[in-house]
Amino acid sequence: MRPIRLGLAAALLLCAGGPAAAWEAPSAKPQRIVSLNLCADELLLRLVGPERLAAVTWLARDPRASTVADRAARVPVNHGTAEEILPLNPDLIVAGRYTTRVAVGLLTRLDAPLLELDVPQSVDGVAEQIRGLARAVGEPERGEALVAGLFARLDALPPAPPGPRPTAVVLRPNGFVAGSGSLVDELLTRAGLENMADRLPLGSQGALPLEAIILGGADVLIVDAAPDAPPSLAGALLHHPALKALKHQVRTLSLPTRLWTCPGPQIAEAAERLAAAREAVP
């Protein structure tokens, strides 16, 4: 790595995960950006042109996982190894806090220009991360435009009627649910639904037995899976006959994971679908 890149690396590592105002703006726009994380792919493909992206992850091209698959088709891909990344001579590498840890560890030891994205747990945190990454790639105006579009769509959600809100539970693979203090919980609230997870046994963030979910009596069951997702052991619970029988008792919403797996502008569409499900509850 050239010495000028070492200075950039130090600044970005120092500011990773902090408030957007603290993220350092580079002296020059990075021109060879590499992403090691699907959520970074999604933001970068919205913030910069393909000519400035040396590589994104292979997942970015999969329309089942990515909301930017069409844009990713114009960019080379990587599989998250340092051996792939270093020959690209990147001037900025964007990784996730919990993914490709072996590659991130090696790149850190080599003083690569690395920025790690955290996992925001609120809409404000999502906006903060968009602004921070936009500043890091030298595109603050584009970041502000993405944030403005996100809040405009969220503010346009139909207001919940007075009185008790319909209850909802998000069922993820292996029976995991999303409770209070999560981004999912805030989206449910903004859509006019009450998250039932905190009322269920074993806490609000863990895995629940199917019986507990069924007996909870939610008005809306949100299945966090795409209909075209490949089969897996983790997702087998989502296809249990008991859940299929619930369709006659509660409203079931299939919400593709690509809409709220990553913190970005696409979460507005997830909130819109949740609001439509709330309005459909008798």
* Residue 162 counted as domain residue: no
Residue in 36, 19, 186, 229 with CA at minimum distance from that of residue 115: 36
Residues 94 and 197 in one domain: no
Considering the domain architecture, whether residues 141 and 198 belong to the same structural domain is answered as no
* 175 lies in the same domain as 257: yes
One domain for residues 62 and 12 = yes
Choose between 49 and 261: higher pLDDT: 49
Rounded Cα distance between 221 and 241, Å, is: 14
Whether residue 147 is found in the same domain as residue 176: no
DSSP class per residue in 197-257: GGGSTT-SSSB--HHHHHHH--SEEEE-S-TTPPP-STTGGGG-HHHHHHTTTSEEEE--G
Q: Mean pLDDT score of the chain, rounded to an integer?
A: 83
How confident is the model over 150-159, as pLDDT tens digits?
999 999 999 9
pLDDT confidence tier of residue 10, bands split at 50, 70 and 90: very low
Query: In the predicted model, what is the mean pLDDT of residues 69-85?
Result: 94
Give the domain extent around 22.
Answer: 3-153
Verify that 147 and 179 share a domain, yes or no.
no
Q: How many domains does the chain have?
A: 2
Phi and psi torsions of 51, nearest 5°: -65, -20
Distance separating alpha carbons of residues 106 and 85, to the nearest angstrom: 11
Mark whether 106 and 241 lie in a shared domain: no
Are 136 and 179 in the same domain? no
Average pLDDT over residues 236-265: 79
What is residue 15's predicted lDDT score, i.e. its pLDDT?
Answer: 35
Report CA 88 to chain centroid distance, whole Å. 26
187 and 60, same domain (yes or no): no
Residue 67 lies in a domain: yes
Domain boundary among 153, 186, 218: 153
118 and 252: one domain?
no
Q: Let me know if residue 160 belongs to a domain.
A: no
Instruction: CATH number of the domain at 131, please.
Output: 3.40.50.1980
β-strand pairing of 220-223 with 114-117: unpaired
Q: Reply yes or no on whether the pLDDT at 238 is more than 90.
A: no
Residues 256, 193, 124, CA angle at the centre, nearest 5°?
75
Among 153, 179, 198, where does a domain finish? Answer: 153
Q: At which of 153, 178, 194 does a domain end? A: 153
Q: Could you give the CA distance from residue 19 to residue 173 in angstroms, rounded to a whole number?
A: 32
Q: Between 44 and 196, whose confidence is greater?
A: 44
Alpha helices in 137-194 (DSSP H): 140-155, 183-190
Per-residue pLDDT reduced to its tens digit, 187-235: 999 999 998 887 765 555 566 666 666 677 788 888 866 666 666 655 6
Per-residue pLDDT at 49 exceeds 60? yes
Q: Is residue 227 part of a domain?
A: yes
